[in-house]
Chain A
Amino acid sequence: MMIDNSSSIFVNFRSLLITTLEPIEKLASLPVNSYKYFQQDFTSIASLKKINSELKSELFFLKAKQQRLNHFEMEVARLNKLLRKASQLNKYKVKLANISHYNISVYSHFVSINKGYSDGVEKNQAVIDAYGLLGIVTQTTPSTAKVQLITDTEIQVPVRIQRTGQRGIIKGFSKDLLYLQFISNSSSVELGDIIETSGLANTYPKGYPVAKISQIKTLKDQPYFSIFATPIAKVYQAENILIISKKLKKVKIQ
């Protein structure tokens, strides 16, 4: 067990075993996949048309938003140049993947996705959905990967409160709650504050929303608040996800 935690040889062994188990996992996910298949098959044309028009309008708004975002990116880059700051805006490469199945138990919370290391997926890459941070890639095989969700107690993410910039560490607490650590009693924290990734430790890219503060408690004789937050990402409903590559591509200032 200790070797499994520390040795890299066992990473390959584990990957081999996961690959061996893949046919059984596919067989085991047959009921849920067939249910999804039949559900999709019986979706009426009217509802498909409705979904299509909704998606078209959403795409239109997102394109309009993207135009403004590009403008802001260039503006920030120019301001950085004026301030002679070495840091510039970083762009991350993203890969689209689908969730094959969820595996939520008292021991771990993870999902299997349909992209593996032959598709360029690597260990420790951050994973997001359309709303926020979902988890991190912990294991890869040639064609699949396992993503440990942020609700897993073993996952700790360096974060900051968006409104104040106060830094802390967020970790999984229960199925729907995260626990924010190291926010001092003297700092300003409000219910509904958005917590985003701080970019420290370079594992999770900076600025992605993680959770919304839902409960704040002051503990007697403790220097820190006890803060609980609900994940922003649709942790247990997501089907399509984005894997963020760690390789950075810097925006050049013209």
Chain B
Amino acid sequence: MVNKINTLQLKQIKWLIAISYIVSFSIDIMLNISFTITTTPSITLLMLLFWTTKLLTNTHFATAFVLGIFSDIAINSILGSHGLIFIIITFLILKVRHSFKGYPSWQQTSLIIFYLYIYQVFSWFILNPNLIDSAVYYWLSPLSAIIIWPILYKIMNLFTHKKIF
């Protein structure tokens, strides 16, 4: 029964998933290009985490890798570095995603912040960012998920609920 509903979900919302990734990716680029905000957490990664916890029938590794490749192109980093980081984060959240849905909002947000910190640590290790001007912002930016994650979760839940029921 659960499997049936989940399969149905994926088929029904594949366009929603594609559009949500395009929109979140555009927001990421827009924040950088148009508003020169460079220290917000990746909205694309948050969207990936959302779908990973929402659609339980897929591993989302391929999606993570493709999104990572496009992130590399967008910020001109070594091809595959973001793909690798996104896959690691996806793998980590796969372990807890069944219980994730049942968590209260504050616990979900805390967990997301934890994953964003893992992302920052891996980025720092692999991509060697220049933190001379913005070290504080870089290490504090995952905390902005306190605001971003509940909003994103609520908006996306509105769309998915509409589709399912």
User: For the complex, is A17 an interface residue (Cβ under 8 Å from B)?
Assistant: yes
A residues in contact with B144, CB < 8 Å: none
Q: Is the CB of A174 within 8 A of B29?
A: no
Whether the Cβ atoms of A107 and B76 lie closer than 8 Å is yes
Which residues does chain B contribute within 8 Å of A107, judged by CB atoms?
A: 75-77, 123, 127, 129-130
Residue of B38, B73, B79 most packed against chain A (CB within 10 A): B73
Assess A106 versus B81: contact at CB under 8 Å? Given A138-B76, A146-B76, A153-B130: no
Give the shortest distance, in Å, between B80 (CB) and chain A (any CB).
Answer: 5
Say yes or no for B140: interface residue by CB 8 A criterion: no
Distance of A38 Cα from B158 Cα, bound (Å)? 36
* Least distance between A186 CB and chain B CB atoms (Å): 29
Q: Is the CB of A172 within 8 A of B130?
A: yes
B134 contacts A by Cβ under 8 Å: yes
Q: Are A24 and B29 in contact (CB under 8 A)?
A: yes
Which B residues lie at the A interface, using CB under 8 A?
22, 25-26, 29-30, 32-36, 38-39, 69-70, 73-81, 84, 123, 127, 129-134, 138
Contact B29 A1, beta carbon cutoff 8 Å: no
| A41-49, A70-78, A96-104, A196-204: which lies at the interface | A96-104
CA distance A106 to B34 in the complex (A): 16
Contacts of A173 in B (CB 8 A): 132
- Chain B residues, CB < 8 A from A175: 133
Name the segment of A26-34, A161-169, A239-247 touching the other chain: A26-34
Query: Is A106 in contact with B130, judged by CB distance below 8 angstroms?
Result: yes
Is the pair B70, A174 in contact by a Cβ cutoff of 8 Å?
no
- A5 at the B interface (CB under 8 A): yes
**A18 proximal to B (CB < 8 A):** yes
Question: Chain B residues with Cβ under 8 A from A28's Cβ?
Answer: 26, 29-30, 32-34
Q: In this assembly, does A237 line the interface, its C-beta being within 8 Å of a C-beta of chain B?
A: no
Report if A32-B34 is in contact (Cβ < 8 Å); known contacts: A4-B78, A17-B69, A107-B75.
yes
Bound Cα distance from A49 to B138, whole angstroms = 45
Say yes or no: A102 contacts B76, CB within 8 Å.
no
